[in-house]
Amino acid sequence: MPGLIVMKFGGTSVADAERIKRAAGRIVEKREAGHQVVAVLSARGKTTDELITMAEEVSAAPDPREMDMLLSTGERISCALCAMAINDLGHRAISLTGSQAGIVTDESHTKALILDVRAERIRGALEEDNIVLVAGFQGVSRDARNVTTLGRGGSDTSAVAVAAALGAEVCEIYTDVAGVYSADPRIVPNARKLETVSFEEMLEMAASGAGVLQLRSVEYARNHGVRIHCRSSFSEEPGTVVLAEGETMEQPLITAVTHSDREARVTLTGVPDAPGAAARIFGALAQANVNVDMIVQNEPASGGGQAEISFTVPREDLRVARAALEPLVGEAFAELSSYEEMGKVSIVGAGMRSHPGVAAKVFSVLAREGVNIDMISTSPIKISCVIDRDRVEQAVRALHSAFELSGEDTILVEDTFRASPTS
């Protein structure tokens, strides 16, 4: 008997009335094939960006609780409209906010973590033969019972969490490209679609900028054994399935080139060369819930000298990071400077673990392109270089071609309604 399926539609896939009706049609098809269906929807097109702009127009530092009240409205609109469209197709549908759907989070506004999904209401609605629409990207905080949101791209995580709670047979992530590619197909049109990708590689890809799946959704899926199938909402072709390590076939050396053009670098000079300085600095940033990515510290060249620490944060976190560090000026470090126009390019591949020389090749490709490397970090299956933001696209193309990752040309849907990248 067909099982329960969770289908998630991203912003572009519900951007206008036509697309909402198309998503409704696909949901109904699954229902008519005998599945129980829960659909998680994102806000339409650029709605979330527009809501953020609205907040910034009235406040330089919008209150995080109110920000979440505002941002959560986008996905509610999509769900209510889609429920109407499904009803018109002769099926029963009910839309639920994240809170009504039982998505319980911690208290950290604008990047809340899901703690629990109390899915009784969804189950009850399914038993009454409804298609259930759940507003993505949001929940309710466990203690203060405030509306929270899950960070940009968070509807992916809503979908995976709902799929885990309901024991769904698959969580289908419908988006505006046909799956996970060897690079962002908007930058590399002949990037190759991956039929499968391991959790391990997908985690590194999502963490290094492949916004097609939010990092937390991949983590959640791995921890709860959810099968993710990322595919196009505009065609029937199969997309990319994220598999557990044991299920994947032998890995090629390099699987993908990923990038981010939303990095900021912070440099602290005059850091005392004594135990505890880094702990204070990064403790303050953790307290402020800032995601620090790459960290470089160099030892003072002469005895008694002072160290310098540089690190990167997502550009949208820079304001909060600076504010968290201000009180430590003159104590944990002497001066703070920051630069917003940074980007990052990474290569990811499980095969590189057993092959030396990959890093050297990355550096020589970037050198040949005249791209200066600002910072470097590695994991056993990833090499990342922080570079100038305006050289990112060139670096991605050069690396993709040097490691021979191409497939056939990708056909992209027109993207008038596309939201800005969500990683």
Q: Which residues are at the interface with ligand ASP (CB under 6 A)?
A: 10-11, 42-43, 48, 74, 136-137, 152-156, 419, 422
- Quick note: the x/- pattern for ligand ADP over 220-259, rule CB under 6 A, is ------------------------------------x---
- Are 150 and 109 spatial neighbours (Cβ–Cβ below 8 Å)? no
Close Cβ partners of 87 (under 8 Å, ≥ 6 residues apart): 93
Could you say which of 154, 211, 239, 343 contacts ligand ADP (CB under 6 A)? 211
387 token code pair:
């570079």
Least distance in Å: CB of 176 to ligand ADP? 5
137 binds, among Mg ion, ligand ASP, ligand ADP, none (CB under 5 to 8 A by kind): ligand ASP
β-pairing verdict for 103-105 and 138-141: parallel
Give the C-alpha distances (Å, rounded to integers) separating 283 from 199, 237, 286, 321.
29, 47, 5, 11
48 binds, among ligand ADP, Mg ion, ligand ASP, none (CB under 5 to 8 A by kind): ligand ASP
139 binds, among ligand ADP, Mg ion, ligand ASP, none (CB under 5 to 8 A by kind): none
DSSP secondary-structure letter at 371? P
Least distance in Å: CB of 379 to ligand ADP? 17
Candidate segments 4-12, 103-111, 276-284, 385-393, binder of ligand ADP by CB under 6 A: 4-12
Could you say which of 7, 11, 234, 381 contacts ligand ADP (CB under 6 A)? 11
Indicate the residue among 30 and 418 with the shorter CB distance to Mg ion.
418
- Are 178 and 408 spatial neighbours (Cβ–Cβ below 8 Å)? no
Indicate the residue among 228 and 332 with the shorter CB distance to ligand ASP.
228
Indicate the residue among 85 and 212 with the shorter CB distance to Mg ion.
212
Per the listing, tokens 């206008």 go with 16
Distance CA 37, CA 27 (A): 7
Phi, psi of 386 (to 5 degrees): -85, 130
- Are 267 and 243 spatial neighbours (Cβ–Cβ below 8 Å)? no
Pick from 358, 365, 421: nearest CA to 395: 365
Burial tier of 217 (Cβ tally within 10 Å: 0-12, 13-18, 19+): buried
Least distance in Å: CB of 163 to ligand ASP? 15
Contact call for residue 197 and ligand ADP (CB under 6 A): no
186 binds, among Mg ion, ligand ASP, ligand ADP, none (CB under 5 to 8 A by kind): ligand ADP
Candidate segments 7-15, 137-145, 289-297, 330-338, binder of ligand ADP by CB under 6 A: 7-15
317 binds, among Mg ion, ligand ASP, ligand ADP, none (CB under 5 to 8 A by kind): none
- Are 41 and 82 spatial neighbours (Cβ–Cβ below 8 Å)? yes
Contact call for residue 314 and ligand ADP (CB under 6 A): no
Candidate segments 2-10, 78-86, 188-196, 250-258, binder of Mg ion by CB under 5 A: 2-10
Pick from 243, 246, 201: nearest CA to 226: 243
154 binds, among Mg ion, ligand ASP, ligand ADP, none (CB under 5 to 8 A by kind): ligand ASP
- Are 242 and 197 spatial neighbours (Cβ–Cβ below 8 Å)? yes
Task: Identify any residues that bridge with 132 across adjacent strands, giving them in sequence order.
Answer: 38, 94
Contact call for residue 75 and ligand ADP (CB under 6 A): no
DSSP assignment of 37-101, as one string? EEEEEPPSTTHHHHHHHHHHHH-SS--HHHHHHHHHHHHHHHHHHHHHHHHHTT--EEEE-TTTT
Close Cβ partners of 222 (under 8 Å, ≥ 6 residues apart): 199, 203, 244
Contact call for residue 186 and ligand ADP (CB under 6 A): yes
Candidate segments 138-146, 177-185, 261-269, 368-376, binder of ligand ADP by CB under 6 A: 177-185
Distance CA 202, CA 179 (A): 12
Could you say which of 64, 153, 185, 343 contacts Mg ion (CB under 5 A)? 153
- Quick note: the x/- pattern for ligand ADP over 152-171, rule CB under 6 A, is -x------------------
Binding site for ligand ADP (CB under 6 A): 10-13, 42, 153, 175-177, 180-181, 183-186, 210-212, 256, 419, 422
Binding site for Mg ion (CB under 5 A): 10, 153, 422
